[in-house]
Chains A and B, each alone.
Chain A
């Protein structure tokens, strides 16, 4: 794996292209520019290995979800909350073959060994545009660089894979509702990138929030003026635990409309899932990949102050509120510890892995996280971020990923 620096004279144009051509509408976070001036290049072996590992993780995760749907008593140990626990009983009514299942496993190169994963983004993984359009821009740049004139690179278009899967589930001309937090421009950018692709394939797309749906006779209906009617497929980009499941008219567990992702995903989204790994293994499940790649994970009660462990919120998103002593300010770290003490069921602790930083051509070192997408059991692309600190969060910069032949 290596980093190629985008030449300084090309970078500003690249950043503008990323904004306008790659739906990157959140290119700054506090004082951090989130469009990296680097391109990540994987060699063929790394690419094959990541694909193999992510597929192994995906298959194990699907098996876990299915097992827990059939054994809801064990699922309740995940502390998913009353509303979700009550809704889980509807899961068996849903035909999973009509759904599109999308997961993103976040891999980190580590000092001891090759890879560790920090999590699976199982419910609503993002990064659609960054993993589809940015690599093509990057490919044009490296192809124009004299230093790489003898090299061959290729990239993967995640949205191409996702739209292919969705279009295999519903006929052309169907209506697809993209349900997201419409008040967030950075959520809309993800949905717009997908929506424009789907429209180009002949689908009608509707942008709306969970407030703009109503479930009637187990089907999702859109209630937005100008778009009222039954929806053929739902892409949800609102975390399930944010939904008001008590409002049965908007409870997506209760419908049979095909979805990506179907709410079953919450089972593997919670970072408490590893707490029941031993029970799952005792019941015959093979979790070889999970056990090999995920650092030891346990409850906060005993290990909160152990410096070998980091503290993570159970439903954390984009790396926020992860307590890593050397990556946080003291104030931030102590606040996370306090919160984990006050709400121990909302946090887990995980053994810290030593991220292996990658050298840049201009003498810096960056910690890298490579998200590997799997859709319906097939490898679907990469979403990479880089940070000078060993914590990947909203301050991290997005990196396009290329593969060297």
Chain B
């Protein structure tokens, strides 16, 4: 499967939320064909309200594995991975190389899944995205942040009957904290489910 085919599958399964998919991994990464992923076990699922939108802030490709599992349970997974690729031979702060592989694997899985038209979004993030240091000048800084403008507004979500967000994470990072604060200010309920490190 090509990157473009994979993107088209994620998009076609995304219902209202496809335009928010971050395309950089699909458009600029070369797959390594390391496709050994498994559908997430969702240890937290009993604590999640099914009418909520989700933000999965999990290490590397774990969000894709859980996103596929959630797609079977009435959510629609929206990848927001937005890190750039280090030049050949240079080392990046963040290992983004698995992301495109996992997205291609995810696309293959999604092909078999029927997504409900009123599925709620589950936005996928890499919790290792902010691994960075300003003191190192021989490495490429491909860390990244998530911003308010990367997600739908509270008013868009409310217009689609979503009044609450659940964040699945080990710890809420500074960039995401700012976004959650804005959602709260705009009248959304925000719940955090903390995970023990896997």
Contacts and interface: CB of A to CB of B under 8 A. Distances in A.
Interface of A: 16, 19-20, 23-25, 27-31, 33, 182-185, 188-189, 192, 206-209, 211-214, 223-228, 394
A185 B153 contact: no
Given A20-B4, A206-B87, A224-B90, A192 B28 contact: yes
Interface of B: 3-4, 7-8, 11, 19-20, 22-24, 26-28, 82-84, 87-91, 132, 134, 136-145, 148-149, 151-153, 155-156
Contacts of A31: 152-153, 155-156
Contact of B91 (A185, A207, A225): A225
B4 A207 contact: no
In this complex, the member of A23, A185, A228 whose beta carbon has the largest number of chain B beta carbons within 10 angstroms is A185
Contact of B144 (A33, A185, A211): A185
A16 B7 contact: yes
B137 A183 contact: no
Given A16-B4, A183-B141, A209-B140, 7 more contacts: A182-B140, A184-B84, A184-B144, A212-B138, A212-B140, A224-B87, A226-B90
B23 A226 contact: no
B7 A225 contact: no
Nearest to A35: B19
A19 B137 contact: no
26 contacts: A16-B4, A19-B7, A19-B27, A20-B3, A20-B7, A20-B23, A25-B22, A25-B27, A30-B151, A31-B155, A31-B156, A33-B19, A182-B141, A182-B142, A183-B132, A183-B143, A184-B144, A185-B84, A211-B141, A212-B137, A212-B140, A225-B91, A226-B87, A226-B90, A227-B89, A394-B149
B19 to A, nearest CB: 5
Contacts of A208: 87, 90, 140
A228 B89 CA distance: 11
Contacts of A183: 84, 132, 141-145
A25 B134 CA distance: 26
A31 to B, nearest CB: 5
Given A19-B27, A28-B19, A30-B152, A224 B138 contact: yes
A30 B145 contact: no
Nearest to A249: B137
Contacts of A30: 148-149, 151-153
A25 B24 contact: yes
